[in-house]
C-alpha cells in the first residue's frame, strides 16, 4: 500500500511525525476549549474529590488513623489515595467525551480528512491529562488547608504528581477503547463504574491493605491501583519507593501496550 | 480517463441487513450525480464507503481512480464530506470550527485565516462567526458544515441529504452554492429523498432502493417513466366531462383518465410549469366548462417508486416548499 518512504524531505517520515504531533495538538486544544466552555462540568469534576478529602479525613480520620504506623496522620496517608481514586473515577470521562464526539459526527468528518489517524484519540487522552493536572493541583491546595504536607521535597512531590497523572492516562486508554466500542456516553459511564469501583476499594487508597482479609490482601497487593497509590504515597511521605514504582510502571507499560494499539485499530475499522 | 466516482457491485452488510446489495454507480467528472431514494435505501452507507469511513464487504469503489480501501489516504485528499447530520462542534464558534478543520487539513496560518474569512462571507455567516455554533439555526449549521467541507476546495464533494429539514430560504442558499461549485468544476454526489431536488441540481439521477440502483437517467427521463406532470381538474358538473376532455385535448393533453370521484379528471400535461395551469383554465373557460378546482401535480418520489417497484415508499416524500412554481393546486376559479 505505501511505498518505502525516506526519513527526511517534504514527504519523509520525520515531516509526517511533525504533522501528526500538530494534529494531536490541535485536537487537544479543541478538547481543552470544551472544558473551558463548560465550567460547570469542570466544577463538578473538582467538587467530588474535594468532598472526598474533607469527608474521609474528618469522618474516618479517627478510626482509620489508629491502624496507621505511629506518627502518620490520616490526612497525609489519605491524600495520595484520593489523588489516585479521583483519577480512576475521572478516567471514564474519556469514554464519555469520545462517545459524544462519535454521536455528533465530528469524528466522521475527521476520519474523512487526510489527518493523523491517532489524533482524535491522543487529543482526547491528552486533554483529559491536562484536566487531571488542574484537578490535582486544586486537590493539593485543599489538602494543604486541612493539614496535608509533602515531606520529601519538591522533586519527590513532582514525582508523586507525575505518577498520579500517568495512572490516569493509562486508564484513559482503557476507556478510549470502551468509548469506541460502546459509542454511547451513558453505557461508557456505567461500564466504567462497574469496573472501577471494586478496584479502587480493594486497594490501599483508603486503608492499609494489611487490615484486609488475606485473600483480598493478595489481590490488592498486586493491583495497579495499590501500586500507583503506594508509589505516590512513598514519594509524598517517604518510605519504600522502588518496589511499588516498578510494579506501577510495569502495569502502565502493559496497559498502554495493549490498549493504545487496540484503540487505534478499533478507530481505523470503525463503521 | 477514469470516472470521478466508480462503484462496482458494492455489498455492505450490517448483521442481517444488506444496506448495499450490489450497488453500481458511475459519476462523470464535473457533474452532479443525484442519488434518490427513501429512508433506509442505502444512500448514507454508499456515501460513507466513498468517503473512506466504511469498508465494503464486497465489490470495489474508487474516487478519481483511487481505491477507497487500499488508497484511502489519497482519496481523503480529494474529497469533501457534508454528512447527513451536520458535523459541527457546538461549543466552538463558527470561526473556530473552520480554523480547527483548516489546521487539520494542514493549511498554514495565513492561508487558513484568509480561506476561513472567505467561506464565512460566502456562506453568510460573518455576523455569527464569533458565536458558539450551538446558537445557530439548522440552516446555519448546515452552511457551516458545508463550509467546513470546502476548506481545501475538494475536487469531489459528497452531500448527504443537504437540505432535509431546512426552510425554503436555507434550501435555496444551499442549492445556489452547489450550482456555483459545479460551475467551478467540482464533482458532486448528492443524496436526496426529493425528486424535485435531484431534478434541480443533478445532471443524472440514480434511484436507489434496498441497496441497489433500480433506475438511472436524467430527471426528465425518470419523470417520463412515470408519465410527467398531470393536470388535475375537478368539474362543477360531471356531465361536462366530454367537453372538458375536448378542450384540454386541443392543448395537447391526450389520454384523459377519470379521477377518484366522478367529477375529477386527470390529464397528462404536455409541459409543466405554472403556464400550463393558466392555459388549461383559459381553455376550459372558453369551452364554457365549469371548474371548481384545477391544479398541476408533478410526479413525486412516491410516483417514481410506485412505478419502478410497484410499492409505496414508507415515508411521505413531499419536497420542501420552494421559491419555484407552486407544487400543486394553483386553484383557478371558474
Ligand atoms: N451502522 C449501522 N448498523 C446497522 N444497520 C445500519 C447501520 N447503518 C445503516 N444501517 C441500515 O442499513 C440500511 C441503509 O441505511 P442508510 O444507508 O442509512 O439509508 P439512507 O441513508 O438511504 O436512509 C438501513 O436499513 C439501515 O437501518
Ligand atoms: Mg441517510
Q: What is the pLDDT along chain B (334 residues), one digit of tens a residue?
A: 568 999 999 999 999 999 999 999 999 999 999 999 989 999 999 999 999 999 999 999 999 999 999 999 999 999 999 988 888 999 999 999 999 999 999 998 899 999 999 999 999 999 999 999 999 999 999 999 999 999 999 999 999 999 988 889 889 999 999 999 999 999 999 999 988 888 889 999 999 999 999 999 887 787 777 767 788 888 888 888 888 888 888 877 777 777 767 788 888 777 766 788 888 888 889 888 888 888 888 777 667 777 777 665 554 444 444 433 333 333 334 3
Count, in order, helices (H) and strands (E) of chain B. Answer: 11, 14
Q: How far is B200 from chain A (nearest CA, A)?
A: 27
* A-B Cβ pairs (cutoff 8 Å, strict): 72
Residue nearest to atom 17 of ligand 1 (CA): B42
Q: A102 pLDDT exceeds 90? A: no
Nearest CA, atom 5, ligand 1 = B14
Residue B103 Cα to ligand 2 middle (Å): 28
**Ligand index nearest the alpha carbon of residue B317:** 1
Residue B322, pLDDT score: 41
Q: Which residue of A has its CA nearest to B158?
A: A112
Half-sphere exposure of residue A65, counting CA atoms within 13 Å on the CB side? 13
Output the pLDDT for position A50. Answer: 87
Distance from CA of A271 to the nearest CA of B (A): 5
pLDDT above 70 covers a percentage of chain A that reads 96
Pairing of strands B58-63, B66-67: antiparallel
> Burial, A97: exposed, middle or buried (Cβ in 10 Å; 0-12, 13-18, 19+)?
buried
Assigned domain for A48 exists: yes
Does residue A254 or residue A100 have the better pLDDT? A254
- The answer to the question of residue A47 being in a domain is yes
CATH 3.30.70.100 in chain B, residue ranges: 229-298
Residue A61 resides in a domain: yes
CA atoms within 13 A of residue B239's CA, in its CB half-sphere: 1
pLDDT at B158: 97
CA-based nearest residue in chain A for residue B97: A30
Q: What mean pLDDT value characterizes chain A?
A: 88
Query: Looking at the DSSP assignment, which residues form a beta bridge with residue B294?
Result: B233
Number of compact structural domains in chain A: 1
Q: Where in chain B is the domain with CATH 3.40.50.300?
A: 3-223
Phi and psi, residue A168, nearest 5°: -65, -40
Strands B5-14 and B17-27: antiparallel
Is residue A1 a part of any domain in this protein?
A: no
- Cα B115 to ligand 2 centroid, rounded to whole Å: 30
User: pLDDT at residue A248 above 60?
Assistant: yes
The answer to whether residue A199 sits within a structural domain is: yes
Backbone angles phi, psi at A259, to 5 degrees: -85, -25
The residue with cell 467546513 is B148
- Please report the pLDDT score of residue B35 as a whole number: 95
Q: Using an 8 Å CB-CB cutoff, list chain B residues near A22.
A: 103, 106
Protein residues near ligand 2, an ion, with CB under 5 A:
B 43-44, 84
Those residues with Cβ within 8 angstroms of residue B221's Cβ, 6 or more apart along the chain or in another chain:
none
Question: Residue B62 is inside which H or E element, if any?
Answer: strand B58-63
Q: Give the span between the Cα atoms of B318 and B321, in whole angstroms.
A: 9
Cα(B196)–Cα(B228) distance, rounded to whole angstroms? 12
What are the distances in angstroms from CA A97 to CA A126, A259, A270, B161, B291? 12, 17, 17, 27, 63
Whether the pLDDT of residue A5 is over 70: the answer is no
Indicate the top mutation candidate among B7, B16, B38, B40 to test ligand 1's pocket, ranked by most ligand atoms within 8 A of CB: B40
Atom of ligand 1 nearest to the CA of B48: 17
Largest Cα span, chain B: 76
ipTM value:
0.86
Residue carrying C-alpha cell 462542534? B89
Contact B101 A119 (CB under 8 A): no
Helix residue ranges per DSSP H, chain B: 43-50, 72-78, 94-104, 109-122, 138-149, 168-183, 195-201, 219-225, 241-249, 274-286, 301-309
pLDDT value at residue B277: 84
Return the SS3 of B180: helix
Which residue has cell 437540505? B163
Distance B28 CA to ligand 1 centre (A): 26
With an 8 Å Cβ cutoff, are B132 and A111 in contact? no
Searching chain B, which residue's CA lies closest to the CA of residue A104?
A: B87
Q: Least CA distance to A271: which residue of chain B? A: B54
Question: A217 lies in which domain range?
Answer: 6-269
pLDDT tens per residue, range A174-232: 999 998 988 677 887 887 788 888 888 888 888 888 888 889 888 888 899 999 999 99
Which CATH number does B3-223 carry? 3.40.50.300
Domain B229-298 in CATH 3.30.70.100:
yes
Instruction: Tell me which residues of chain B have a C-beta less than 8 Å from any C-beta of chain A.
Output: 14, 48, 51-55, 70-71, 73, 76-77, 79, 81, 83, 85-92, 96, 100-101, 103-106, 132, 148-149
Q: Cell 444551499 belongs to which residue?
A: B174
pLDDT at B267: 81
The bridge status of strand B264-268 relative to strand B230-235 is antiparallel
pLDDT at B141: 93
B46 CA: nearest ligand 1 atom: 17
User: Which grid coordinates belong to B38?
Assistant: 427513501
**With contact defined as beta carbons under 8 Å apart, do B204 and B34 qualify?**
yes
Residue of the CA atom closest to atom 6 of ligand 1: B14
C-alpha cell at B289: 366548462
Amino acid at each position: 500500500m505505501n511505498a518505502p518512504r525516506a526519513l527526511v524531505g517534504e514527504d519523509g517520515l520525520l515531516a509526517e511525525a511533525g504533522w501528526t504531533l500538530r494534529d494531536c495538538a490541535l485536537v487537544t486544544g479543541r478538547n481543552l476549549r470544551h472544558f473551558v466552555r463548560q465550567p460547570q462540568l469542570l466544577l463538578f469534576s473538582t467538587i467530588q474529590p474535594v468532598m472526598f478529602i474533607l469527608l474521609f479525613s474528618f469522618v474516618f480520620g479517627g478510626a482509620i488513623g489508629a491502624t496507621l504506623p505511629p506518627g502518620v496522620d490520616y490526612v497525609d496517608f489519605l491524600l495520595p489515595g484520593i489523588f489516585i481514586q479521583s483519577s480512576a473515577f475521572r478516567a471514564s470521562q474519556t469514554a464519555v467525551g469520545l462517545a459524544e464526539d462519535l454521536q455528533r459526527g465530528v469524528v466522521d468528518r475527521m476520519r474523512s480528512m487526510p489527518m493523523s489517524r491517532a489524533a482524535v484519540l491522543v487529543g482526547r487522552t491528552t486533554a483529559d491529562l491536562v484536566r487531571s493536572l488542574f484537578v490535582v493541583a486544586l486537590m493539593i491546595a485543599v489538602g494543604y488547608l486541612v493539614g496535608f504536607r509533602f515531606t520529601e521535597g519538591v522533586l519527590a512531590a513532582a514525582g508523586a504528581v507525575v505518577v498520579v497523572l500517568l495512572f490516569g492516562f493509562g486508564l484513559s486508554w482503557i476507556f478510549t477503547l470502551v468509548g469506541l466500542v460502546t459509542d454511547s456516553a451513558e453505557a461508557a459511564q456505567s461500564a466504567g463504574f462497574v469496573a472501577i469501583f471494586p478496584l479502587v476499594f480493594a486497594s490501599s487508597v483508603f486503608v492499609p491493605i494489611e487490615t484486609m482479609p488475606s485473600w483480598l490482601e493478595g489481590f490488592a497487593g498486586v493491583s495497579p491501583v495499590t501500586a500507583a497509590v503506594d508509589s505516590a504515597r512513598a514519594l509524598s511521605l517517604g518510605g519504600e519507593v522502588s518496589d511499588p514504582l516498578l510494579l506501577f510502571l510495569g502495569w502502565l507499560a502493559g496497559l498502554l501496550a495493549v490498549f493504545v494499539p487496540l484503540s487505534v485499530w478499533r478507530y481505523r475499522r470503525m463503521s | 480517463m477514469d470516472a470521478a466516482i466508480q462503484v462496482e457491485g458494492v455489498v455492505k452488510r450490517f448483521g442481517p441487513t444488506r444496506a448495499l446489495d450490489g450497488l453500481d454507480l458511475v459519476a462523470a467528472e464535473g457533474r452532479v450525480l443525484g442519488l434518490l431514494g427513501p429512508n433506509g435505501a442505502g444512500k448514507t452507507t454508499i456515501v460513507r464507503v466513498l468517503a473512506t469511513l466504511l469498508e465494503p464487504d464486497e465489490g470495489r469503489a474508487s474516487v478519481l481512480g483511487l481505491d477507497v480501501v487500499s488508497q484511502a489516504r489519497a482519496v481523503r485528499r480529494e474529497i469533501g464530506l457534508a454528512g447527513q447530520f451536520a458535523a459541527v462542534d457546538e461549543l466552538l464558534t463558527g470561526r473556530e470550527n473552520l480554523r480547527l478543520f483548516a489546521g487539520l487539513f494542514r493549511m498554514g496560518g495565513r492561508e487558513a485565516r484568509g480561506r476561513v474569512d472567505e467561506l464565512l462571507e460566502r456562506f453568510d455567516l460573518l455576523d455569527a462567526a464569533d458565536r458558539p455554533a450551538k446558537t445557530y439555526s439548522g440552516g446555519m449549521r448546515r452552511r457551516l458544515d458545508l463550509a467546513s467541507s470546502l476548506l481545501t476546495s475538494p475536487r469531489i464533494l459528497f452531500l448527504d441529504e443537504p437540505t432535509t429539514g431546512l426552510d425554503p430560504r436555507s434550501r435555496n442558499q444551499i442549492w445556489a452554492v452547489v450550482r456555483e461549485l459545479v460551475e467551478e468544476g467540482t464533482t458532486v454526489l448528492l443524496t436526496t429523498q426529493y425528486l424535485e431536488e435531484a431534478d434541480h441540481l443533478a445532471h443524472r439521477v440514480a434511484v436507489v432502493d434496498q441497496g441497489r440502483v433500480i433506475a438511472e437517467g436524467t430527471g426528465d427521463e425518470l419523470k417520463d417513466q412515470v408519465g410527467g406532470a398531470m393536470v388535475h381538474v375537478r368539474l362543477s358538473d360531471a356531465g361536462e366531462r366530454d367537453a372538458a376532455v375536448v378542450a384540454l385535448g386541443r392543448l395537447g393533453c391526450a389520454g384523459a383518465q377519470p379521477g377518484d370521484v366522478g367529477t375529477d379528471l386527470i390529464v397528462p400535461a404536455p409541459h409543466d410549469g405554472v403556464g400550463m395551469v393558466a392555459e388549461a383554465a383559459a381553455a376550459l373557460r372558453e369551452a364554457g366548462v365549469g371548474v371548481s378546482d384545477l391544479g398541476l401535480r408533478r410526479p413525486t418520489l412516491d410516483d417514481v417508486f410506485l412505478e419502478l417497484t410497484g410499492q409505496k415508499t414508507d415515508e411521505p416524500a413531499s419536497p420542501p416548499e420552494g421559491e419555484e412554481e407552486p407544487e400543486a393546486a394553483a386553484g383557478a376559479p371558474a
